[in-house]
Amino acid sequence: MEDRARILTSACLGALIGGAVGYLFLTEDGRCLRERLAPGFGDLVEEFRRLNTAAEKARVAAVESVRTLQGIRHGIISGGWEGRPPTGY
C-alpha cells in the first residue's frame, strides 16, 4: 500500500509541476508573470550568495575558534604554560 501512495503522490506532484511550467511558458499570462517575477528572482539569488558567503565565514571562524580552544586546553593540560597563558593571549 505504501508504494501505491508514493506513486500517486509522485504522479500528482508531477502533474502540478507540469501544469505550472506549462502555464508559465505557454500562455501570455504566464509570460507576463515571469517578466514581473524575474527581477525578484535575481535579488533572491544575490541574497542566497551573500548568505552562503556569510555562512562560510562563520564556519571558518568556528573552526579557528575550536583550534584555538584546543591549543589552550592542550597547553594547560600539558603544563606548558605553568599556570599562566603565553604573552600572546
The residue ranges of every structural domain in the chain are 2-78
Residue 18 predicted with pLDDT over 60: yes
Average pLDDT, the chain: 87
Q: Taking the mean position of all CA atoms in its chain, how far away is CA 84?
A: 41
- Would you place residue 89 in the very low, low, confident or very high pLDDT band (cuts 50, 70, 90)? low
The whole-number pLDDT of residue 84 equals 60
Question: Which of the 8 DSSP states describes residue 89?
Answer: -
